[in-house]
Structure 1
Amino acid sequence: MAAVDMAGRGGSVRMQAWTNAVASEMYCFTGEEYGFRASLEEARTLLSGTAEDEPWGGIAWFDLAKADAYEGSDLVRLGRFEEALPSLDLAIDRLSPDMLRHRCTAFVSRAEAHAGAGNVDGACADGHVALDLVARVQHRETLRRVTELHRRLRRHRTTGTRSLGEHVLDARTALPAAGSRA
């Protein structure tokens, strides 16, 4: 991948790790498991040698917690839902509480993993947490993903799915009034 090559020619070690994590995501979109695994392994290897005060020119901060989130989300993309859950659990446990947008994305990914694994209650619970974070960070992509999740789950007609549907409507109503970011 061009970004990985470019980062390798002068980017910080943390930037190189991040571009490898992004490459893992791209490999998942094409179903290339070897590329996904190799890219994430390289990201983790690079991160294992970085200092916490290393200069970073990317968006927010990239660390092992985010690598865990990439892995879990990648596994969801590959349809490996149960395998994704431990990585997403770890990411959520390790992501800093002030990283609201990243936590939002990790929770919606874990909700999708729970849904794919057949755990409707877990999917709804994480969908609610993701929507609570959407209200704080105004992240339309997460709202779109939770809306799609609810569409897939509503056939179950449980109290949880009805509650999630109401929460989606509330979030949709509140989001345009407050403006939006990515």
Structure 2
Amino acid sequence: MKIAQHSVSEKDLSVINIEKDISSINKDYKYQRISWPIQKVFWILITGVLVFGLLGGFGDHDFMSRKTANLPGAEVEYERFLRIEKSFEMRLTLDDTVKDFSVGLNRDYFDKVKITDVIPEARDVFARGNSIVYQFNSDQGGTIVFHLDPMKMGSQKLELEVNGKKAFLSQYVYF
């Protein structure tokens, strides 16, 4: 019995290899069609974070973060973007016409932020409704500085009341 031998030429082998290469290209192309849009989204996000940082979004006392709010007889300087467990100051500057005054902060603000110091020291501190009220004595105007430490991440609303006039401030605490 004679066994037939088939010889495979080099030309036949190259055709087989080309077919394998083409099938792997199709698999890679499907992967690339999925991964390219995802990569574009991440590039946009990274660019956004870099631009935010270059504009000062991660620093202290920058033009993006530092804001002022005006109330009748007072001006409040505060930071909109805070870092968790990194102290910041909120300054309240009063007009010369303001004498004895009170400053109220909403209670739920204290769930996310801890007050470490108030300069000058308040004459009296008490709870009234949904606010913690600091009572101060002054002959005329001045500046009050609240030293605060953010304790929880996320958006928070500050309802600031000076002598019955309210301002609503928004802050965001990030890592």
Higher helix share: 1
Higher percent of residues as strand: 2
TM-score when scaled to structure 1?
Answer: 0.24
Greater RCO (CA < 8 Å, at least 6 residues apart): 2
Q: Which has the larger radius of gyration?
A: 2
